[in-house]
Amino acid sequence: MVFSSLIFLVVFLPATLLIYYILPDRFRNLCLLAVSLIFYSWGEPIYILLMLFSILLNYISGILITRTDPQSTAKRRALLISAIVINVGLLFVFKYADFTIGTYNLLFGKHIELLNIALPIGISFYTFQAMSYVIDVYRKEVKGNKNIINFAAYITMFPQLIAGPIVRYKTVESELRERKCTLDDFYQGIIRFTVGLGKKVLIANNIAVIFKEIAGTSPDKLSTSMAWLAVLAFTLQIYFDFSGYSDMAIGMGRMLGFHFLENFDYPYESKSITEFWRRWHISLSTWFREYVYYPLGGNRKGIKRQLINILIVWTLTGLWHGASWNFVLWGFYYAVILILEKLFLKKVLDKIPNIFGRLYTIIAFVIGWAIFALDDISYRTGFVKALLFQAKQGILDKHTAYLLISFGVLIVIAIIGSTSIPKRLSELLLSKKPTLRRVFELLFVAVVMTVSIAFIVSDSYNPFLYFRF
């Protein structure tokens, strides 16, 4: 599914766009829905039934809530709760049932058999997207969409279907009804898509080799430098992998006439973890803030309640990423840091030079990615010891030197590319030279697209990391 899905996006996107542009406006959402269902069912046809059920459930819920008398608060709330319970229930069965059973068996010495249900790709994304719609209808921020084709097109929209960003209905409501596909939108969309494709195929896939090789090394053979190189590689891989998919989704949406909100804003330039989470996976952070943190009371009920709310939100954020204790630990890790920043640390960071804030933030999120990436407890313990200069192989080793020589140029390119330096440099050199800028952009698209397709066809392919969520 994962390999063929990228082939679909790269090879079949032109044909899809051609049909889409030829059709009259009133048939474009139907075309988008059909292509999205084909795309999703490409490798997992059975789970198309689950998606159709989700569409029907949330479509009916939105209509019923809209039609219910606004004064009937209890009835509207019951409809909302029912929709949320069913949505969360489906997510629980497919994503968390075995995790819950396994944890129960471990704690109480039981031997209940696991369900071993395959995880539908992207279920967390489209479930959260659907729930945001029903909640916004309940809040009267939008009205229930009577056109089931338009609503289904929103839920299944193939550009961001399986790895986000999470698109809230109210941001595309008007474009679902009517949108214009301009030449400038298509041009900007193809550039953005190409940027994302290059991030994934040329940078993320290649730098993943470092982490895979080192992560396969037993802890007693790790050196400190090797452990830190592995974490650095994963830090760069996950950024280019996920921001690359988001760029591709935003670019494809633009080509179809949709304007999705940004999902990344150079998070590795942040000066605090609070700022980092305003810049990383913005759509998920926004979702939890709007639909969990604020309903719990946010910061309106005193500092103690606020700290509890942060802990709840980040425990759920960790679990959202996967049914594994390393994700729970990862969420708790960030909850502790954010609580410390809320209590006093952020005030300290605001007073010291930015360089120290950036250094602290880099160390914090790099350690966070180590927790995120390593799901084996015994291995993680040995790995952390290596990070803390307690490796059995010492600080330096020849294998790390070999990897640095082999991948050094790519690592430097990735580090620079994860910052706003390339963007600022291009604006400085090309902003006042529109013709030269256009030539550069067209050359960029031609070269990156050609090389990326060559890599996809001839090389082993690494799936998008966020497909499993």
> Could you give the residue numbers annotated as active site?
321
Which residues contact residue 107 at a Cβ distance below 8 angstroms, ignoring those fewer than 6 apart?
Answer: none
Q: Give yes or no for a contact between 47 and 117, defined as CB atoms under 8 angstroms apart.
A: no
Going from the C-alpha of 67 to that of each of 62, 81, 141, 439, the distances in angstroms are: 9, 16, 14, 54
Q: Rounded CA gap, 225 and 52, in Å?
A: 49
Q: Rounded CA gap, 345 and 274, in Å?
A: 10
Closest CA to 121 of 4, 8, 201, 1: 1
Looking at residue 12, the DSSP 8-state letter turns out to be I
Q: Rounded CA gap, 368 and 349, in Å?
A: 19
Q: Give yes or no for a contact between 175 and 258, defined as CB atoms under 8 angstroms apart.
A: yes
Q: Give yes or no for a contact between 367 and 337, defined as CB atoms under 8 angstroms apart.
A: no
* Structure-block tokens of residue 211: 């982490």
Which residues contact residue 364 at a Cβ distance below 8 angstroms, ignoring those fewer than 6 apart?
Answer: 273, 276, 337
Place of tokens 């049932």: 97
Q: Rounded CA gap, 319 and 193, in Å?
A: 30
Q: Give me the DSSP letters along 156-200.
A: H-GGGTTT-----HHHHHHHHH-----HHHHHHHHHHHHHHHHII
Q: What is the identity of the amino acid at 92?
A: F
Place of tokens 């090879």: 11
Q: Rounded CA gap, 84 and 82, in Å?
A: 6
Q: Rounded CA gap, 157 and 35, in Å?
A: 9
Place of tokens 């059975």: 46
Looking at residue 260, the DSSP 8-state letter turns out to be P
Q: Rounded CA gap, 349 and 355, in Å?
A: 10
* Structure-block tokens of residue 313: 């939100």
